[in-house]
Amino acid sequence: MRPSSSSAGWSPPPTAHPSNSPNPATRVPGSCSTSNSPKACAESGACRPGGRHPEGEPEGETALAVVETPLVETVLGPVAADELGDVDAHEHVFLRTPVNPGDEFLDTDKAADELLRVAASGIRTVVDLTPVGLGRRPGQLAEVSRTSGVHVVAATGFHRSAHYPAAHWARHADDATLLDVLLDDLQVGMDRYDWDFPRPLPSPHRAGIIKLGASYHRIDRHEERWFAAGAAAARDTGVAVAVHTEVGTAAHAALDLLDRHGIPAGRVLLAHTDRNPDPELHLDLIARGAHLVYDTIGRIKYRPDSVVLDLIERMAEAGELGRICLGTDVGRKSSLSAYGGGPGMDVLGRDFVPRLRRRLGDEAVETVLRHAPQGLLAKETCAA
């Protein structure tokens, strides 16, 4: 139950709004709000991680190229990309979804315990790709990040439509509202109650990536609208876009749709591509500029981890290891060690990374755990 306006530490926002649609808070300007589209800036070379767009300089002054340290937004604030350390590029710290009834995990102490295990395995950053409406808990995310010492990059966005019941507001909200929700999460702070009404209440913890979802072999009409909102938010803020591909399908369709909305493939992370372990497909997606995250590490019911090692080796032989990220995508309570399950969120650093190091060496490990994800996560801004 939501607290009433008389509850300690809580007060309603200054603007009233209908109870059946969100009323996001006032937000700050985006990082690329010029007449040139961010896609055009990126293609011209004007946009890059760090820097400033040439337009918007005071009239009469000489515009100077400013190359700033590339930053990544974490729940505890901006962090230099090269300070993220080894990155698990797809996780869920808290999650509740009707797709997996009874397998939700929302306990803060257990989340902290799980992240402490992750830290002990050598991973220093997790990218929490839980989108709007699926149990995000921004205040608790910040708490477990502090407790564990693990950076957490949180997501906003919308998953594939199966995760939202027919009456969910995201299926019925207008396009402007969908975009406002995402921009508020990215620029003001994620809603304390994950946009569960009647009143929005921003937290001080901002999202740092956009998560979208596609259905099996297709993108349905709801997902198309969510892709449009996500792309618009990415254009305004410079953050990357992660896309759930169901069993690794519809990846080209997702890139096509995002491209039509002005997001180049180089700013896209395609999740679950290892569920469809087709190296030719993967190289085709990489040729378009996309990053892939092999994120079912330790999920032996899908295939042995040796298949993922083979895929990574194939990408290395093709000279494309810089487009590969890794994760475990623990999406069920029964998969978490803190709840008595397995393989645990730490399986990536604990078991898989040593195998990868033995097969391909330290440089390969550093590429997929550091260089590839750090570069993708860095906010893209515009520079002269």
* Exposure b/e, 213-237, CB count within 10 A at least 16 = b: bbbeeebeebbebbbbbbbbbbbbb
Burial of 182 (0-12, 13-18, 19+ CB in 10 A): buried
Q: 261 a known binding residue?
A: no
Q: How far apart are alpha carbons 332 and 344 in whole angstroms?
A: 10
- The pair of structure tokens assigned to 299 is 């999920």
110 is annotated as contributing to ligand binding: no
Greatest alpha-carbon pair distance for the chain in Å reads 65
Report the amino acid identity of residue 359: R
* Strand duo 47-49 + 151-158: pairing: unpaired
User: Is 90 labelled a binding residue?
Assistant: yes
H-state helical runs in 175-304? 175-187, 221-237, 251-260, 279-287
Q: Are 303 and 278 within 8 A, CB to CB? A: no
92 is in an annotated binding site: yes
The two structure tokens encoding residue 81? 């990309």
Q: What is the Cβ-side half-sphere exposure of residue 251, based on CA atoms within 13 angstroms?
A: 28
Name the packing angle between helices 353-360 and 305-317 (round to 10°). Answer: 40
CA 210 to chain centre: 5
Cα gap 339→298, rounded to integer Å: 17
Residue 295 token pair: 């994120």
Please give the helix or strand (H or E) that residue 294 lies within, else none. Answer: strand 291-294
Q: Is 17 annotated as a binding residue?
A: no
- Around Cβ 134, how many Cβ atoms within 10 Å? 23
Binding site feature residues? 90, 92, 211, 244, 272, 329
Binding site feature residues for Zn(2+)? 90, 92, 211, 244, 272, 329
